[in-house]
C-alpha cells in the first residue's frame, strides 16, 4: 500500500466525478455526451475494420482455439480490442491506483471503485503485474482489451501457457480473457447475459410506418417473428433466417424515432457487461459486422445533439415523480429514460419521438 500510494494525489481532471465542495457539472464519458453520429464515426470504423482484418490474419491460430473453447466469434473480440485500445496501439494514459483512488474518493460510484482499488492492489501484491505496468483508462480498466481489476480476478486467462495471466502485453491472454468474460456476463439487474454461441448481437432493421417508440427496451423483448408481424424488416434487403425467428430480441433506438433502429439479442447485453452504454455495445457489434464484410448503417444518424447531463437528471427526477421512471437518476439518456420520455409525450398529447429535448423538459416543468 505504501509503495502504491507514494506521491499519489487526486486527479480532478477525470470524468464522472462529483467533487466535494465544488459546483458545476462533472465531465461525462464519451458514450453519453457524444451524439451517435460522432461516436459511431464511419471513417474510424473503416480504419478499425481494415486494421482488424490484419490482426485476425496474424493471430488466426489463437482465434481458432478461442472460438472453439468459448464460442465467442473472433470478430466480436476484435471489435472490443479495436474499440478499447485500437489493437494495442493506444497507450493508456493513467495509473490505475491514482484513477481508482480518485474515483473511490470523489466519484459518483465510490463503493464500486473502492472494491476495484482493493483488487488492483491485490493484483500487484500477487505479482501479476508491477506497479509501473498498471496503466489504465480514466475508469481504471487495464490491458490490451481494458479489464477492470475484478474482471481480471474472475476471468483473466493464461492462454499462452507461460504461467502468467498477462493482459498487458500478451495478446493471446488478453483475447482469451475477453472471450471468457463474455461467457460469464450478467445484465446490470443481475440476470443472465452470457454470450450465446452462434447468435448475432443484433440486426439493423427498417422501422414500420406506424411505430410506437415506447416498445424500445429489454422489458419489451419478444421473438423476432413478432417484430416481423409489427412491420420490422432487416436493413439492406436482407431476410431473417427461419432459425432466427424464434430468437428473442428487443428494440434499440438510440435517437428515438429519428435514427437507425436495431433488434438486439441477449448477446448485446453481454457486450454491455463490458461497458454499460448502448453506444459502446453498438460500436463493438457494428465493427464486428464490418470486420466480417458487413455494410455501413443503412439509415443515417440524425445527428441530434444530446442534452446536458444535469438537464437529463432533472427530467429523470420529474418523470420519477410522475410514476413514469423507475431507473437511476444519473443523467444518462439510455433505453429506460427514452421510453419514459415517450410515455410522457403520449400523456401530454405531443409528438411521441422518445428522444429527450428541451421541449420535453419545459413540458415537464410546466406540468408540475
What integer best gives the mean pLDDT of the chain?
Answer: 93
129: left (phi > 0), else alpha (psi -120 to 50), else beta?
beta
Q: How far apart are CA 288 and CA 271, in angstroms?
A: 12
Percentage helix, strand, coil for the chain under 3-state DSSP, each rounded to 5: 45, 10, 45
Kindly state the cell numbers that stand for 48.
Answer: 478499425
Tell how strand 248-252 and strand 261-264 pair up.
Answer: antiparallel
Confidence (pLDDT) at 26: 53
pLDDT per position as a tens digit, 57-101: 999 999 999 999 999 999 999 999 999 999 999 999 999 999 999
Q: Which residue has the higher pLDDT, 185 or 278?
A: 278
Structure-block grid coordinates of residue 234? 432487416
pLDDT 10s digits, 9-52: 999 999 888 755 454 445 556 666 788 999 999 999 999 999 99
Residue 23 has a pLDDT of 40
- Residues 188-243: tens digit of each pLDDT: 777 788 999 999 999 999 999 999 999 999 999 999 999 999 999 999 999 999 99
Element (H, E) at 343: helix 335-348
pLDDT tens track for 93-134 = 999 999 999 999 999 899 999 999 999 999 999 999 999 999
Separation of first and last alpha carbons in the chain: 51
Question: In DSSP terms, which residues pair with 136 in a beta bridge?
Answer: 94, 142
Task: Indicate the pairing of strand 135-136 with strand 202-206.
Answer: unpaired
Amino acid at each position: 500500500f505504501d509503495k502504491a500510494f507514494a506521491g499519489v494525489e487526486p486527479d480532478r481532471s477525470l470524468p464522472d466525478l462529483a467533487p466535494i465542495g465544488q459546483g458545476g457539472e462533472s465531465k461525462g464519458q464519451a458514450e453519453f455526451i457524444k451524439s451517435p453520429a460522432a461516436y459511431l464515426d464511419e471513417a474510424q470504423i473503416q480504419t478499425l475494420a481494415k486494421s482488424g482484418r490484419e490482426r485476425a490474419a496474424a493471430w488466426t491460430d489463437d482465434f481458432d482455439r478461442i472460438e472453439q473453447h468459448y464460442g465467442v466469434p473472433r470478430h466480436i473480440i476484435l471489435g472490443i480490442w479495436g474499440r478499447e485500445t485500437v489493437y494495442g496501439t493506444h497507450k493508456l494514459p493513467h495509473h490505475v491506483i491514482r484513477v481508482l483512488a480518485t474515483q473511490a474518493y470523489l466519484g459518483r460510484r465510490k463503493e464500486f471503485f473502492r472494491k476495484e482499488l482493493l483488487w488492483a492492489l491485490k493484483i500487484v501484491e500477487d505479482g501479476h503485474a508491477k506497479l509501473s505496468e498498471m496503466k489504465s483508462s480514466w475508469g481504471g480498466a487495464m490491458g490490451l482489451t481494458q479489464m477492470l481489476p475484478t474482471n481480471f480476478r474472475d476471468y483473466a486467462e493464461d492462454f499462452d501457457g507461460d504461467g502468467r495471466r498477462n493482459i498487458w502485453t500478451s495478446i493471446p491472454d488478453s483475447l482469451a480473457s475477453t472471450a471468457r468474460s463474455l461467457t460469464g456476463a450478467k445484465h446490470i439487474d443481475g440476470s443472465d447475459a452470457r454470450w450465446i454461441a452462434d447468435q448475432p448481437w443484433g440486426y439493423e432493421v427498417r422501422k414500420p410506418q406506424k411505430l410506437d417508440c415506447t416498445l424500445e427496451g429489454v422489458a419489451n423483448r419478444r421473438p423476432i417473428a413478432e417484430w416481423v408481424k409489427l412491420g420490422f424488416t432487416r436493413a439492406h434487403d436482407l431476410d431473417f433466417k427461419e432459425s432466427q425467428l424464434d430468437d428473442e430480441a428487443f428494440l434499440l433506438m438510440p435517437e428515438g424515432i429519428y435514427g437507425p433502429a436495431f433488434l438486439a439479442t441477449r448477446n448485446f447485453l453481454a457486450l454491455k457487461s463490458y461497458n454499460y452504454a448502448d453506444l459502446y455495445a453498438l460500436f463493438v457489434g457494428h465493427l464486428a459486422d464490418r470486420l466480417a464484410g458487413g455494410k455501413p448503417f443503412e439509415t443515417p444518424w440524425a445527428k441530434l445533439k444530446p442534452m446536458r447531463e444535469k438537464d437529463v437528471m432533472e427530467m429523470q427526477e420529474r418523470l420519477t415523480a410522475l410514476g413514469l421512471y423507475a431507473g437511476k437518476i444519473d443523467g444518462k439518456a439510455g433505453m429506460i429514460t427514452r421510453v419514459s420520455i415517450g410515455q410522457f409525450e403520449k400523456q401530454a398529447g405531443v409528438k411521441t419521438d422518445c428522444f429527450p429535448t428541451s421541449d420535453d423538459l419545459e413540458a415537464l416543468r410546466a406540468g408540475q
